Amino acid sequence: MTGSRIPGLRIEVVYLDEHLLELEVVVDSARFRGTAKVYASHGVFVDLAHELSGFPARGGDRREVLLGAPDRTFAGGTVRLGLAADARGRVRVDASLREAGPPEQNASLQLELEPAALDRLVATLRQTIPAEGVVVQVPAAGAASTEKRETR
The one-digit pLDDT tens for each residue of the chain (152 residues) are 445 678 999 999 999 999 999 999 999 999 999 999 999 999 999 999 999 999 999 889 999 999 998 877 788 899 999 999 998 888 999 999 999 878 889 999 999 999 999 999 999 999 999 999 999 999 999 875 444 555 55
Q: What is the pTM of this model?
A: 0.88
CATH code: domain of residue 127: 3.30.2450
Contact 96, 64 (CB under 8 A): no
2 inside domain: no
64 inside domain: yes
Cα 64 to Cα 69: distance, rounded to the nearest angstrom: 14
41 inside domain: yes
3 inside domain: no
| Structural domain boundaries enclosing 59 | 8-150
- Backbone dihedral region of 114: left (phi > 0), alpha (psi from -120 to 50 degrees) or beta? beta
